Amino acid sequence: MKTILITGCSSGYGREIACHFHAKGWNVIATMRSPRRDLFPASDRLRVIALDVTDAESIALALELAGPIDVLVNNAGVGLFGALEHSPMPKIRDVYATNTLGTIAMTQAVIPQMRARGSGTIVNITSSATLASFPLAAAYTGSKTAIQGFTGSLAHELAPLGIVVKLVEPGYGPTTAFAQNTDIRLEDVLPEPYGSYAAPILAAMAEPALFTTEADVAKAVWQAVHDQTGRPHFPAGADAIALVA
């Protein structure tokens, strides 16, 4: 029975990925900064472990407690929407610390055990913002685009060692808590003249014609983990798939 470790499982995509793999019979290690076992069904195949991907000691302890894993899913992420001019630099650093450096740190930490075994899969979750340019998300897009390039290069590097690296690219997920995982108020990052420009964009986001659900992402991760064709990219959700098409 294989084991998967997923970061950022307190809500949204991470929680759904954990539940999906558990339902398929996998051993699941669901990680989050503040562990909540009540988010998941009681099972001896599902463990909840504390993990802060921006903290090296937290990463080391979590992997020690997890034991050998077959799959790592780098899902933990922080959102940031607004005009770059008014986005606080400390918040931008937080976004990169989690979305970019956190993903790199987790990946680096699991490579030794996968290399020793000669097998393993790493799935990095980015965003449809890497597939097409969207306004008012420059810093966030940069943090995810960096992982797009990182993953492509790393896939070549690790393939001879038996380690597979994949990308899953979700679209806009209005049903997730992503928009709430920042302490910045929209009015602070969208003052005039940006407020007038942003108004129709926000209206469209409130009623999207196409969007991504948590289940879409879980299914895409499942597909990426089981892919045998060498396909590197897996868009998730109707909007992301439409962008690729």
**Domains of the chain: which residue ranges?**
3-244
From first to last of its 245 residues, what are the pLDDT tens digits of the chain?
899 999 999 999 999 999 999 999 999 999 999 999 999 999 999 999 999 999 999 999 999 999 999 999 999 999 999 999 999 999 999 999 999 999 999 999 999 999 999 999 999 999 999 999 999 999 999 999 999 999 999 999 999 999 999 999 999 998 886 555 566 788 889 999 999 999 999 999 989 989 999 999 999 999 999 999 999 999 999 999 999 98
The confidence score (pLDDT) of residue 185 equals: 83
| Residue 118 CA: distances (Å) to CA of 70, 160, 161, 185, 228 | 11, 9, 6, 47, 16
Maximum distance among all alpha carbons in the chain?
Answer: 56
CATH 3.40.50.720 holds for 3-244: yes
pLDDT of 143: 98
pLDDT at position 181: 54
- pLDDT at residue 124 in the model: 98
Catalytic residue IDs: 140
Angle 21-233-220 from CA coordinates, rounded to 5°: 25
Neighbouring CB atoms inside 10 A of 9's CB total: 29
pLDDT score of 199:
93
Instruction: Give the pLDDT score at 178.
Output: 56
Tokens matching residue 10: 């307190």
Instruction: Please tell me the pTM assigned to this model.
Output: 0.95
